[in-house]
Amino acid sequence: MEHRSVELNQETVEAALRGIPLGGLRVFRTVGSTNDEALSWARQGAADLSLVVADEQTAGRGRLGRRWVTPHGVSLAISLILRDLPNAPATSRLVGLGALAVIEAGSSMGLHPIIKWPNDVLLSGRKVAGVLVEATWNGDRLEAAVVGIGVNILSGSVPPQAAIYPAVSIEEAMGRSVDRLLILRQLVASFVAWRPRLSTDEFLRAWESRLAFRQEDVRVARDGQPALTGTLQGLDDDGALLLQVEGALMRLPMGELSLRRADDRIE
Ligand code: BTN
């Protein structure tokens, strides 16, 4: 498919985000990782809700040390800086904040994305976006957090061999070409709107209501520990997963975990 995608640059992104109260905005044609740019900007004192956007990443990264591919012109790769946060566990809610913003952007286009806890967004069982939260600390004080969000927008954004999990783009899901800048606007607007409600029960319930596999059997692979199989119940206050394993309700904090439907053959 031939794509005519509007370039992401300081001017086009500024215009697309007009009226959304950001702390600052830096747009790059190419970077290693927007999370790295945001972390170094945060260390230099970037204001709360400063945003880094890149058209292309050459060293984008995902959870668990995985690569995240962001080719030129077809994806969204953004990182939002948050300051004045309470220490963990609030930081785990930030993963939910990023995922919920993607969900709402997708819903605004008539799609029905869901969250594969902790950080994947799925459309029809395939991965369309991922969230990576990183932080800078001053001793044991959280200085700033960075919420990195990558979304497959046009069909060229899906890696040819989507290694870990089958992937899809918004364009493929919609069956027509879509506007990256419009999706960016919806995404950032939703993020900014939820930000003041991060600690509320309303936020937690909104996040939880978009979880994939609720009341279904799932298998959770854990680094260095045996996998667990149980029924996915929901989230606790800290965004930890609640899993009914035989007679016990287990609480799994975010960490080196990955989740599959119990009967899923994907590894
Ligand atoms: C995952 O699915 O494991 C998370 C993927 C997060 C990718 C985004 S793209 C913008 C930001 N910069 C990065 O290097 N990673 C995140």
- Cα–ligand 1 centroid distance for 37 (angstroms): 13
Q: Which of 132, 191, 257 to mutate to test the pocket of ligand 1 (most atoms within 8 A of CB)?
A: 132
- Rounded to the nearest whole angstrom, what is the distance from the C-alpha of residue 262 to the centroid of ligand 1? 26
**What is the residue extent of each domain of the chain?**
10-209, 217-261
Return d(Cα 255, Cα 194) in angstroms, integer: 23
Q: Are 231 and 246 in contact (CB under 8 A)?
A: no
pLDDT digits (tens, 9 = 90+) for 174-223: 999 999 999 999 999 999 999 999 999 999 999 999 999 999 999 999 88
For the chain, which ranges sit under pLDDT 50?
1-3, 267
Task: Tell the CATH topology of 217-261.
Answer: SH3 type barrels. (2.30.30)
Question: In this structure, which topology does domain 10-209 adopt according to CATH?
Answer: BirA Bifunctional Protein; domain 2 (3.30.930)
The pLDDT of residue 266:
54
Long-range contacts of 229-235 (CB under 8 A, 24+ apart): 229/262, 232/117, 232/259, 234/208, 235/96, 235/117, 235/204, 235/207, 235/208, 235/211
The pLDDT value recorded for residue 224 is: 85
